[in-house]
């Protein structure tokens, strides 16, 4: 990351910063950082980078709420000895070979680049991107923005629906970074946008555009969201309600009924009950009931990743076909499309209000 030069006295005066005390570090020029924060990604598909990534992810008490005395022996004794190889094989199927990175990193970087261009009318705003788990780390990016003169940072956790397992832990990590700074910036966090008109409109347009390219019309479209353990929801996590509201608004926008667009939850892990209905079981059930064509969209993911490209694009498709289904389509996430960037830009400009 290239750091800017310290602000000159005239610029400082223009910002109302006053004279610089002799012998003191230069005072920043009051720039604003915008940090796009996504979940995270391993640095490679081999055992060691997968092990590092999974250890960080599955050690997060926001993700796994079991007591460490119970969970850590399972994590280090079973999960981290077997899962890195399996997960690495899954990542290898979707890996961006040209850049030697996961699609999640590719798309998040592209979002940063396009947002920078979209905000070119705001010269004091610096856009960067970070990962909650893995690289570039939240701490390194936050430090870099401060070093470039940002005394305010707008954090944008790229999760439309709030959950303690995603949005909250992303914010936790940013504030952990601030705890190490002598001079910490002011912070804002973009709120969940699961019901924002610009987001619903973007999803509807993206779905309609993709369906128009198919040689069949799906009998059922499934809105599949990443699941969370049911006990988390029972304790007050609003995630399930947010997902259901996104689907309701999307159904209303598309003019579809409750049979055409349904909600399911994917990616369960472990033995406890997760939010239902489960995506894989629903796909199998639909095929068994005689449904021959379906499409799946992932409204809870801002960019395509292992859970959408492999779990849905490969596993769900195989499940549907093996159960008797004929036509299957996975509808891409918003990614860095025009619709997706319209959502991000609209939310950022709104949340910068008062700072610019």
Q: Is residue 319 part of a domain?
A: yes
Q: Is residue 323 part of a domain?
A: yes
Q: Report CA 69 to chain centroid distance, whole Å.
A: 30
User: Residue 208 contacts by C-beta under 8 Å, 6 or more apart in sequence?
Assistant: 254
What is the rounded end-to-end Cα distance, in angstroms, of the chain?
24
Q: Cα–Cα distances in Å, from 127 out to 57, 113, 130, 290?
A: 25, 8, 10, 49
Low pLDDT (below 50) residues in the chain: 1-14, 16
Q: Is residue 146 part of a domain?
A: no
Helix (H, G, I), strand (E, B) or coil at 96: strand
Q: Is residue 164 part of a domain?
A: no
Q: What is the number of domains present in the chain?
A: 1
Cα–Cα distance measured from residue 288 to residue 282, given in angstroms and rounded to the nearest whole number: 10
CATH of the domain at 247: 3.40.50.1400
For the stretch 212-227, pLDDT in tens is 999 999 999 999 999 9
For the stretch 234-256, pLDDT in tens is 999 999 999 999 999 999 999 99
Q: In the prediction, which pLDDT does 3 show?
A: 42
56 is in an annotated binding site: no
| Sign, Cα dihedral of 142, 146, 148, 150 | positive
Q: pTM for the complete prediction? A: 0.91
Q: Which residues pair with 129 in a beta bridge?
A: 36
Q: Is residue 23 part of a domain?
A: no
322 is in an annotated binding site: no
Q: In the prediction, which pLDDT does 20 show?
A: 59
Q: Backbone phi, then psi, for 222, in 5-degree steps?
A: -105, 125
Query: Which helix (H) or strand (E) is 251 found in, with range?
Result: helix 239-254
Q: In the prediction, which pLDDT does 21 show?
A: 66
Do 35 and 115 contact (CB within 8 A), yes or no? no
Q: Is residue 305 part of a domain?
A: yes
What domain range is 304 assigned to? 197-331
- Classify each residue of 157-171 as buried b or exposed e, where b means 16 or more C-beta atoms within 10 Å of its C-beta: bbbbbbbbbbbbbbb
Q: Is residue 22 part of a domain?
A: no
Q: Is residue 173 part of a domain?
A: no
């Amino acid at each position: 990351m290239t750091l800017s030069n310290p602000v000159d006295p005239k610029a400082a005066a223009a910002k109302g910063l006053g004279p610089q005390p002799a012998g003191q570090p230069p005072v920043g020029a009051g720039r604003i950082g915008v940090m796009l924060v996504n979940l995270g990604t391993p640095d490679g598909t081999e055992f060691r980078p997968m092990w590092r990534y999974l250890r960080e992810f599955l050690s997060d008490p926001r993700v796994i709420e079991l007591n460490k005395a119970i969970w850590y022996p399972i994590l280090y004794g079973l999960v981290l000895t077997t899962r890195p190889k399996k997960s690495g094989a899954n990542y290898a199927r979707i890996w961006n070979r040209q850049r030697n990175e996961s699609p999640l990193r590719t798309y998040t970087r592209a979002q940063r680049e396009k947002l920078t261009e979209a905000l070119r009318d705001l010269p004091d705003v610096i856009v960067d991107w970070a990962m909650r788990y893995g690289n570039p780390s939240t701490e390194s990016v936050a430090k870099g923005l401060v070093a470039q003169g940002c005394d305010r940072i707008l954090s944008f956790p790229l999760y439309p629906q709030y959950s303690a397992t995603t949005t909250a832990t992303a914010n936790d990590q940013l504030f952990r970074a601030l705890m190490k700074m002598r001079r910490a910036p002011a912070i804002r966090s973009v709120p969940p946008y699961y019901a924002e008109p610009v987001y619903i409109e973007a999803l509807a347009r993206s779905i309609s555009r993709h369906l128009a390219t198919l040689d069949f019309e799906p009998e059922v479209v499934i809105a599949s969201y990443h699941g969370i353990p049911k006990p988390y929801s029972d304790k007050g996590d609003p995630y399930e309600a947010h997902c259901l509201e996104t689907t309701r608004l999307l159904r209303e926008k598309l003019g579809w009924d409750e049979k055409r667009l349904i909600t399911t939850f994917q990616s369960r892990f472990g033995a406890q009950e997760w939010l239902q209905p489960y995506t894989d079981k629903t796909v199998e059930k639909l095929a068994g009931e005689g449904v021959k064509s379906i499409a799946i969209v992932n409204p809870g993911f801002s960019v395509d990743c292992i859970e959408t490209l492999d779990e849905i694009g490969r596993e769900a498709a195989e499940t549907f076909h093996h159960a008797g289904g004929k036509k299957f389509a996975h509808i891409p996430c918003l990614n860095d499309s025009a619709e997706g960037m319209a959502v991000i830009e609209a939310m950022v400009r709104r949340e910068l209000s008062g700072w610019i």
